[in-house]
Structure 1
Amino acid sequence: MAINDRDLVIEAAEAGAAIVRSHYGTSLTRFDKSGGDFATTADIEAERAILDVLRAARPDDVVVGEESGRTGTGGNGRMWLVDPLCGTLNYAVRNMLVSVNVALRTGTQVVVAASADPFSNEVFWTDGAGSNVRREGVDERLVPSAGSRLVDVNLDPPFPNEPGFQAARLLADKGFVEQFRPRVVSTTLAVAWVAAGRRAAYVTDGHQHDSVHFAAGIALCQAAGCVVTGIDGQPLDTGAGGLVIAADEQTHAALLTLVANQRAGAA
C-alpha cells in the first residue's frame, strides 16, 4: 500500500536524523559555501538519505534541498523543502543542538512537515490538522505555552532590515529583559520548541518564502495555534519579511512593540 504524505515526511526526517547521529563526533570533511558558510559530510549524506526516501515514494515531485538545490521536473504542484542539518556549525563543534527539517508544499500551503531532533529521538510533525511530537513511536499533541518566558533570537545573517531592526539589539533592550529571557540556540529546532511550549517565542530577520530552514517549523507552529507573522506583524512572505512566532497573542504583541520601538529609534 502506498505511503501517505504524513508518514512519508516523518520517515524522511528520521532517515536524515539517523545519518546525523551516525556522524556525530567523527572527523568531518567541510565543504565551503558562500559567506563563510559550510556543509559537512553529515549534511551531504543526510540530504542524500532524505532524497532517497522521497524519490522512492514520490518520483514526480520537485525537491529543493539545501545542499543539492532543485531536482525533479515537477508539474504537479508539489515541492519538498529539505534542510538536512540545521545547525551545522553547532554540529561541527560537537554541540547537539541541531534539527533535520522536511516539508511538503502543495500549491501555496505547506501541508505536512517534520522537524527531527537526532539526539533526543523526537520528531515534531504536522499534517495541518494539529502538531505532535513522536517519541519511540508514540505521538503526543503539542501545546504552545508562554510560561517559560524564554524567547529564542536568531543572530545569524542575512539581516535585510538593518539598521531599522537588528535581532541582536533585542538582547540589550531593557523592555525585552523585563518581560523575557533571551536564548540563542542557532538552529530552527527552537522554532519547533515554540509549538511544543519549550519556548515562548522565536524572532529572526530574513526572508522566509520557501525557506528550507524555516518551512517545517512555521507549519508546526501554525498548526499548533501559535501566532505567526512577519517582523512587523504583517502576513508571512510580505513586506519586510522576518519572523515573529509566539505562543500567544500577548507575547506576540509585546515583541511587535519592541520591534516597532527599535525601528522608531533608528529613524
Structure 2
Amino acid sequence: MNNSINPNIQDLQLYLDIATEAVCSAGAILKSYWGKIKESDRNEKRPGDLVTIADKEAEAQVLAVIKRHFPDHSILAEESGAGGKTESKFLWAIDPLDGTTNFSHSYPFSAVSVGLLIDGIPSVGAIYDPFHDELFCGAIGLGATCDRKPIQVSTENELKHSLLVTGFAYDRTQTPDNNYAEFCHFTHITHGVRRGGAASVDLAYVACGRVDGYWERGLSIWDIAAGVVIVREAGGTVTAYDGGELDLKSGRILATNTHIHSEMITELAKVKPLQQTFPMSS
C-alpha cells in the first residue's frame, strides 16, 4: 500500500475488512473467557480501571492481524500503548475489551473496538459485540452497517422526547469533573439517560438509532476512534461539547442523531458542577 497518497474507496474497504477481521477474531477470545473471570484474574491498572487476561489476549490477537497486513502503520492500543512506525500517517486505535468491568462481572455489555485514523481523522471503524453477536462497521464514503446491513441514526428531533446514553470515567471518585451533574440534568429533561459502561457500544447505538445522543468525558482515543466514523457515516454529528471540532485527545465527546445536537450543546453549557456532598476517594 502506498502511504504517500490519500486512500481511495478500495483502500478504505481493505482497511475496513482488516479491522473487521481483527475485531471478530478478538471477539472469539472474549467469548472463550466469558463467565470465567475470577477476582484473582482481574487487576487494577489505576483505581477503578480494571484489566484481565482476556483484555491482553484479545489485544494480542488484534495486533497480530494489523501487523500482519500493515507492518508500517502506527498503533495505539489500550494495554500495550504506542507501537509501529511513529512517522506513519495511519494510526490504528485499539480497545481490545471496551467494558472490562462489565465483562469481569459477566454483565454482557462490552465490545472490541478498532479504529483507523488517517492524518488524524477517524476514517475506518469496526466494533464487535460478541455477547449479542453484533458487528458495527463504517468507513468514510462507505456508509455504516450493523451485521452488514445499512444503519442510520434516529429521526427524533426534540430533546425532551429523546433517550440518551453516557458514562463515567474510571477516576470519577477522585475528581469533581465527573459528569454527575450532566447526568442528573439530562435525566430530568429527556425520556431518560442510560449508562452502559462501554463507550464504543454507546456510539454504535447512536449510529443505529437505539439512542438519540451520547456525551461523555474522561475518554481515550481508543474508546471512540471507531465509533466516531460509524456515527458520522450513519448520518450523525460528532463534535466537542461546544459544537466545535472534536479533539480526540480532549477526552470529551458529543455524538447525536444531528437533530438534537444544538439542543444538547445548549443544555451542556447550562450545567454547573454539583456541590460536593461526599468526600472524594483518596
Residue 181 (1) aligns with residue 192 (2): yes
Question: What does residue range 1-267 of structure 1 map to in structure 2 within 5 Å?
Answer: 4-28=14-38, 29-129=41-141, 130-134=143-147, 139-147=148-156, 149-158=162-171, 166-173=178-185, 176-188=187-199, 189-206=201-218, 211-237=221-247, 242-249=252-259, 251-263=260-272
SS at match of 1:6: helix
Q: CA deviation at 1:206?
A: 3.1
SS at match of 1:219: helix
Partners of 1:83 and 1:254 in 2: CA distance: 31
Structure 1: tracts of 5 or more residues without a match: none
Return the letter of the residue paired with 1:71: G
Q: CA deviation at 1:75?
A: 2.9
Partners of 1:26 and 1:264 in 2: CA distance: 39
Contact 1:17 1:116 in 2 (8 A): yes
SS at match of 1:18: helix
Partners of 1:36 and 1:226 in 2: CA distance: 31
Q: Deviations over 1:201-221 (max 9, x none)?
A: 11102365xx01111111111
Change (3 A) 1:5 1:168: same
Partners of 1:140 and 1:52 in 2: CA distance: 28
CA RMSD in angstroms comes to 2.5
Q: CA deviation at 1:63?
A: 1.4
Contact 1:62 1:74 in 2 (8 A): yes
Q: Deviations over 1:138-179 (max 9, x none)?
A: x111110054722002122457xx76x652223332x64233
Partners of 2:95 and 2:86 in 1: CA distance: 19
Return the letter of the residue paired with 1:95: Y
Return the letter of the residue paired with 1:53: V
Contact 2:181 2:274 in 1 (8 A): no
Q: How many residues align?
A: 254
Partners of 1:46 and 1:59 in 2: CA distance: 19
Change (3 A) 1:238 1:112: closer
Return the letter of the residue paired with 2:232: Q
Partners of 2:153 and 2:55 in 1: CA distance: 30
Partners of 1:17 and 1:114 in 2: CA distance: 12
Q: Deviations over 1:32-81 (max 9, x none)?
A: 31233121011000001111111111111111110011121243311111
Change (3 A) 1:239 1:16: closer
Change (3 A) 1:241 1:8: closer
TM-score after normalising by structure 2: 0.82
Contact 2:19 2:126 in 1 (8 A): yes
Change (3 A) 1:166 1:253: farther
Partners of 1:143 and 1:35 in 2: CA distance: 37
Contact 1:231 1:240 in 2 (8 A): no
Partners of 1:256 and 1:158 in 2: CA distance: 24
Return the letter of the residue paired with 2:268: V
What's the % identity of the aligned pairs? 28
Return the letter of the residue paired with 1:253: S
Contact 1:146 1:201 in 2 (8 A): no
TM-score after normalising by structure 1: 0.86
